[in-house]
Amino acid sequence: MTNGAVDWAAIGRNSRFEEFRRRKRRFFIALVVVAVGGYAMLSLGAAFLPDLFRMPVAGALNIGMLFALVECALTLIVAVVYAGWSSRQFDHLAEEINREIFAQHARSGRQ
């Protein structure tokens, strides 16, 4: 199978593909903000707001410790949201675009 017959540039300019790609990027940027923000807050907080991190929450458990534990949970949440959301939102779009490409390929193959 050769793939020279497919007009990849045209698909790249296709409005549906554009929309698909834009949504994907927006979603990804949101995840990066959450993830990097959590990381930055934990390390900057420990360095510059040690008094805040020392404040007790329950018994010996303080805000800093709780935050570090929450960061572990946040990691899990980001990952699950990403996997679940992408699979629901993006996979069928990608599938449709793939079908289009195959159709185009079949057409050009017959010529």
Partner 1 sequence: MIPASAEMSRRIMFGGLLAMVSVTVVAVPTSVVAVPEPHRWLTFTLFAAIVGLSMMVTHLAAKRVKTPDDFYTAGRSISGMQNGWAIAGDYLSAASFLGVTGLISLWGFDGFMYSVGWLLAYLVVLLLIAEPCRNIGKYTLADILAYRNDPRTSRIIGALSVMIVSTIYLVAQMVAGGVLVKALVGINYEVSVIAVGLVMLAYVVLGGMVATTWVQIVKAVLLMGVSLIMVLLLWHEYGFFGDFFAEVAGNARVQNHVATILGHSASDMSPAALGQRFLEPGLLFENPLDQISLALALVFGIIGLPHILMRFFTVPTARAARTSVAWAMAIIGSFYVLTIFLGLGAAMKVGISTIIDHDAGGNMAAPLLAQALGGGAESMLGNFMLALVAAAAFSTIVAVVAALVLAVTSALAHDLYAGVWRQGKLDTKSQVRAARLTAIVFGVLAIFLGMAAKGQNVAHLVALAFALAASANCPCVLLTLFWRRCNTGGIVAGMVVGSVFAIGLVLVSPNMSYPLAIKAEAERVLLEAPGKLRRIEADLASENGDTVIEAKRARATLGKAVMQAKSDLARYRNDRTSIVGLEEPLFKWRNPALISLPLGFLAVILGSLVYHDPRALKIWDELYVRRHTGILAGRLERR
89: Cβ contacts below 8 Å, ≥ 6 apart: 23, 27
68 binds partner 1 (CB under 8 A): yes
80 binds partner 1 (CB under 8 A): yes
Interaction with partner 1 in 7-46: which residues (CB under 8 A)? 8-9, 11-12, 17, 20-21, 24, 28, 31-32, 35-36, 38-39, 42-43, 45-46
Contact 35, 78 (CB under 8 A): yes
Assigned token pair, 64: 């800093």
Among 31, 32, 33, 65, which residue's Cα sits nearest to residue 46?
Answer: 65
Q: Roughly what angle, to the nearest 10 degrees, separates helices 15-48 and 91-110?
A: 140
**What is the binding site for partner 1 (CB under 8 A)?**
1-3, 6, 8-9, 11-12, 17, 20-21, 24, 28, 31-32, 35-36, 38-39, 42-43, 45-47, 50, 53-54, 58-62, 64-65, 68-69, 71-76, 78-80, 82-84, 86-87, 91, 94, 97-98, 101-102
